[in-house]
Amino acid sequence: MIFGMTPFTFFHVVLSLIGIAAGFVVLYGWFRSDRMSRWTAVFLLATLATVITGFLFPFTGFTPAIGVGIITTVTLVAAILALYRYHLDGRWRAIFVIFSVISLYLNVFVLVVQAFAKIPALNALAPTGSEPPFAAVQGLVLLAFLGAGYLALNRFHPTAA
């Protein structure tokens, strides 16, 4: 056990945190119209690996986590295609930014869910995840990502690689 987690869970969490950190780095770069190619690759790869490892946990039936994983997979595939297949040409730049930001948001959404579930002080505020403090934090996260996505979409106009 590592920090109370199995090695596999720990690996999944580390991948997720790498994806989130790299995602914030590239989001900042997009505000400056910087492609951030290596950081973007780390973000996309770590986030995709997070989703894949998430599907490897044992489950019975359809859960909200599986739904988020499916949506994240679709957004990542769109972002990867837009970047590596269509090279951000035309509308693919917007598709890339929008779906990358959605992928990052969903990863942070899950981080907030897990924080409220695992951190005792947060869990005391919202033990079921349906209380106002949890909704307020998730609402603020959503608003922040809507604003960041809008800025990134309007500012990210990279030159050809």
Whether residue 136 lies inside any domain: the answer is yes
Whether residue 65 lies inside any domain: the answer is yes
Taking alpha carbons only, the member of 45, 62, 50 closest to residue 108 is 50
Query: Tens-digit pLDDT profile for the chain (161 aa)?
Result: 777 889 999 999 999 999 999 999 999 999 999 999 999 999 999 999 999 999 999 888 898 899 999 999 999 999 999 999 999 999 999 999 999 999 999 999 999 999 999 999 999 999 998 999 999 999 999 999 999 999 999 999 987 55
Question: Are 161 and 37 contacting, i.e. CB atoms less than 8 angstroms apart?
Answer: yes
Whether residue 78 lies inside any domain: the answer is yes
Query: In three state form, how does the secondary structure of 107-150 look?
Result: HHHHHHHHHHHHCHHHHHHCCCCCCHHHHHHHHHHHHHHHHHHH
Q: Please count the structural domains in the chain.
A: 1
pTM of model > 0.85: yes
Whether residue 1 lies inside any domain: the answer is no
141: containing domain = 7-155
Whether residue 11 lies inside any domain: the answer is yes
Whether residue 19 lies inside any domain: the answer is yes
pLDDT at residue 160, rounded to an integer: 55
Whether residue 161 lies inside any domain: the answer is no
Whether residue 2 lies inside any domain: the answer is no
